[in-house]
Amino acid sequence: MKLENIVPWGRNLSEYQSMFLLSDLELKSKILGCGDGPASFNAEVTAMGGDVVSIDPIYHFSKIQIAKRIDEVAHEVLKQVKLNEKHFVWHTISSPDALYTLRMETMQKFLEDYEKGRSEGRYREGALPNFSFEDGQFDLALSSHFLFLYSDHMDEVFHLHAIEEMLRVAKEVRIFPLVTLEGNVSPHLEGIMNILERAGYATEVVETSYEFQKGGDKMLKIRKEEG
């Protein structure tokens, strides 16, 4: 992965809680964040005494390199959001400028935690669909704004392998959102749910309390059927 191809843009704990409907008890469980990038979820949960490991290819790079890349792209992202303002819901986040401030504060929190977290093994370079974790090592594996969102770039086979890998290492998987960058329900969603159900998993599309991208307010929950 080349740093110049990356657009770092991270969400915070409150957003992860809304996207994944995380209870206080779940926040105390062993969580794997798949593709957490510069989100502050890991930093904030760790500060509360929680147990999160984040995996992302960008953790190959140093704090200085990631910070520099954030500075290079943040204003361009803001410009693009302003051009596409009507595709977003401006309730919780009131304006593009408020979004910019929120994202910069969030990524600053991540950067402040990054070196310590990397030395503690909380930020690990890695990429779906192959992890080096043991079977069942985590209670919950989360994917925010990676799977399904980039359905135009990653096919159904990639999605299936990625989700199977998340299910191998965690008891439950949650993915948000279920729409593509264009705001359409992912063309892979139905086929993947059918395959997973035939393989003995319970799948459920759950309405959440988070909607920023219009129509992006649902998550997919997957777990092994009991008994």
**Binding site residues, ligand SAM, CB under 6 A:** 6, 9-11, 34-37, 39, 56-58, 127-128, 144-146
Write the CA distances from 186 to 38, 89, 189, 195, integer angstroms.
24, 19, 5, 15
168 Cβ contact list (under 8 Å, min separation 6): 131, 135, 136
CB of 205 to ligand SAM, least distance (A): 19
CB of 203 to ligand SAM, least distance (A): 21
Write the CA distances from 122 to 55, 144, 176, 185, 212, integer angstroms.
8, 17, 21, 32, 28
Q: Residue number with the shortest CB distance to ligand SAM? A: 37
Q: Name which of 1 and 202 has its Cβ closer to ligand SAM.
A: 1
CB of 21 to ligand SAM, least distance (A): 15
Q: Name which of 12 and 203 has its Cβ closer to ligand SAM.
A: 12
Q: Name which of 147 and 194 has its Cβ closer to ligand SAM.
A: 147
Q: Name which of 194 and 209 has its Cβ closer to ligand SAM.
A: 209
- Residue 167 is inside which H or E element, if any? helix 156-169
CB of 202 to ligand SAM, least distance (A): 24
Determine the Cα–Cα distance for residues 6 and 137; give it in Å rounded to an integer: 29
Ranges of H-type helices in 49-150: 63-83, 96-119
80 Cβ contact list (under 8 Å, min separation 6): none
Give me 37's structure tokens: 């990038």
Q: Name which of 128 and 179 has its Cβ closer to ligand SAM.
A: 128
CB of 157 to ligand SAM, least distance (A): 13
